[in-house]
Each structure stands twice: as structure tokens, then as C-alpha cells.
Structure 1
Amino acid sequence: MNVDPNQLYLVTGIEGYTPQVSYLLSMMNYARHTTLMAVKGLSMQQLDEPVDANSNTIGALLLHFAALEYAYQVETFEQRELTKEEIAKWGPALDLGEEGRRAIKGHELNYYLRQMEEVRNRSHQLFRRVDDDWLFQEEEFWHKKQANYYFMWFHVLEDEINHRGQIRWMRKRLRA
């Protein structure tokens, strides 16, 4: 899905989607745009450089965006848990921490951007299949609380915004 740059700052309807789904995607599109601007031009060394021994790298955070979004696709659209194969692929990026620091490195920026774009394109395809009522479906979520799909996808959005703030902070502290 190509985002119309003239609509980047509008929470508005998007052709092919119901109103509430459009509004959610509008916000997700803007958040992704600002993430892309925050990482533009970073080298592999910068993507792999932790600020300290306990921090995630920018590369790991970018892959985390794709992993989290993929996990929510599986949970909300397919009503299933990740398979062993999916956990092997996405687990380090979902969990981050020590496993992420060990496993997520050695990739150029385009690698992370492709992963994010592939997952986002799949989200756009999946969202075409649902309507606004779907967003309000409820199920058990964190700590056995009720949540609707709207909240779950809001979490995908706010998680990216939160970590994008970390990325901006980290970028200011990177060596060359």
C-alpha cells in the first residue's frame, strides 16, 4: 500500500477499508513514516551498536516492529498462537533482551525495512477482509483481561511510537 503523502497528516478514510479500520491504518502509516525518517541513512555498524550492555540495538527494535505486528496478525486474524517455526524466526525480535542482542545483528538497514514492509503489506491485505465490527470483537488478553482487536492493534501502533522514541534517543548517542 502506497501512502499518499498529501494524506500523511490526516486521520481519514482510505479506499478499500471501512472507516474505523481506515483511521487505525492512517495512524499506523504516520507512525511508520516517522520511524523511517528516524533511521534513514544508518549504517550496519550504527544499527548493531548498543548504547550499553543492557540495551537493545536500533536494528533489533526495527525487527521488533515487524515481529510484533506479525504476532498480532496471527493472534487477531488467524486466532492462533505462533508455530515453533514462527517462534524460531520472530522470537528473538519479540523478546529482545539477551537473545535479541545475540541473534539480531549483521544486517543492513534495507534488510530491516524489507521485513517491516512485508509484514505491513500483509496487515493491509488482512485489514481489507474485516470491517469496523471486527475491531470491537473481544477476547481474553494480557493477564486474562478482556480486550478488543482495536486495542490490540492500538498496542502495535503505540509500541512502535514508544520504541521510535528510543531509536531517536539512541541515534543521538551513536558513534559516527
Structure 2
Amino acid sequence: MINMDNIYLIKDIPGYTPQVGRLLSMMNYARYTTLAAVKDLTVDQLDFLMDAQSNSIGALLAHFAAVEYAYQIETFEKRDLNEEEMAIWGPALDLGDSGREKIKGNDLAFYLHQLEEVRNRTYELFKSVNDDWLHMEEEFWHGKQANHYFMWFHVFEDEINHRGQIRLIRKRMGV
């Protein structure tokens, strides 16, 4: 879905309404830069911890997939993750001790596959909505109103934020 000829263009994407396509354009660029930041990393590099409180690059990649999945559930199914989903995605959503304990030993292909599977589901779900859906409001954090546009902006804004951590970790590892 990421069209490398148009990676620097925020524009319509065939099959999506205009604003949905532009949102996907921004999400695709964020993902493109994330993939460039993790290219060719080994399992040891993906598992590297700068200190006892930090997150690994692998955990951050799993976090990107978990956040996107959680927003699929919240905005399309109007529910929280169930117990089974939390068993799968909880450590990546929460990171911290649980993430450090459970998210390790995977190669880059594992994380890339996870990211791709979740993103492909996002592509399919976004085909089912239009620009009006982006502007639908509901209660969000701390009892404040938010629209779907903001919620999905937050998905890639969170990725961009944590990608900065990935770049810092790479520098600390000397790669």
C-alpha cells in the first residue's frame, strides 16, 4: 500500500474518501521512516536495553502494532480489548516490566509481519468509512471529546514519538 513514488505527497488514495486517503498518506510516511530506522537490525539489537527501565526497539515495534490494533477495536468495534486480546497485546500496549519480560527473542521479520498484518487490517477497515466518520466525536481521554480523526492521528503520532526513541537506542548501540 505504501507507494514509494508518492511517499512525500499527502494526497487522495484510490479506494478511500479524500480525507481518509490523506490520513493514510501520513500514516504511510510515518511507517516508511520507521522501517528505515530499523532496517537490518539483529535480534540482539532489537532486544537491547539501555538500562533497566528502558524499552527495547522490538518492544517499541510491537507497541506500534498494538496501539494500531487497539484503535481499530475502539473506533470500529466500539469496545475495549477483551481478555484474549489483552493476553496478546497487553505487554506491548503497556511496555514497562511486562514488555521487557515478554517481548524479546524475535527477529525483525517477526515485528515487520506483525506491523504489516495490523496495517493491512487498517486499510480494509478504512475502506468501510468516509470523511464524515473521521469527524464523529466521542468521549476519549479524561472525559474529553475527541473525533476519529484525532484518534487515528494519535496512532501515527505515537509511532513518530517512539521512533525518536528507536533512533536514540541505535545511537547508543553504535549502529
**Structure 1 and Structure 2 fold alike (TM over 0.5):** yes
Length-normalised TM-score, structure 1:
0.98
Partner of 1:141: 140
- Mind listing any 5+ residue stretches in structure 1 that lack a counterpart? none
Kindly provide the amino acid, as one letter, of the partner of residue 174 in structure 1: M
Between the two proteins, what is the percent identity of the paired residues?
66
Inter-CA distance 17–149: structure 2 relative to 1 (3 Å threshold): same
Kindly provide the amino acid, as one letter, of the partner of residue 135 in structure 1: L
| Structure 1 residues 129-166: Cα deviation after superposition (integer angstroms, max 9, x where no partner) | 00000000000000111000000000001000000011
Kindly provide the amino acid, as one letter, of the partner of residue 122 in structure 2: S
SS state at 1:173 partner:
helix
| 1:154 has 2:153 as partner | yes
Partner of 2:41: 42
SS state at 2:172 partner:
coil
Alignment of 1:119-134 (within 5 A): 119-134=118-133
| 1:5 has 2:7 as partner | no
Partner of 1:21: 20
- Cα contact 1:46–1:175 (8 A) shared by 2: no
Q: Kindly report the root-mean-square deviation, in angstroms, between the aligned alpha carbons of the 2 structures.
A: 0.8
Kindly provide the amino acid, as one letter, of the partner of residue 145 in structure 2: Q
Count of residue pairs brought into register by the alignment:
175
- Structure 2 CA distance, aligned partners of 1:175 and 1:65? 24
Q: Which runs of 4+ in 1 moved over 3 A?
A: none
- Structure 2 CA distance, aligned partners of 1:127 and 1:10? 19
Length-normalised TM-score, structure 2:
0.98
Return the offset for 1:175. Answer: 5.8
- Cα contact 1:12–1:23 (8 A) shared by 2: yes
Partner of 2:101: 102
SS state at 1:82 partner:
coil
Alignment of 1:60-99 (within 5 A): 60-99=59-98
Partner of 1:115: 114
Return the offset for 1:3. Answer: 1.7
Return the offset for 1:4. Answer: 1.4
| Structure 1 residues 30-87: Cα deviation after superposition (integer angstroms, max 9, x where no partner) | 0000000000000000000101111000000000000000000000011111010000
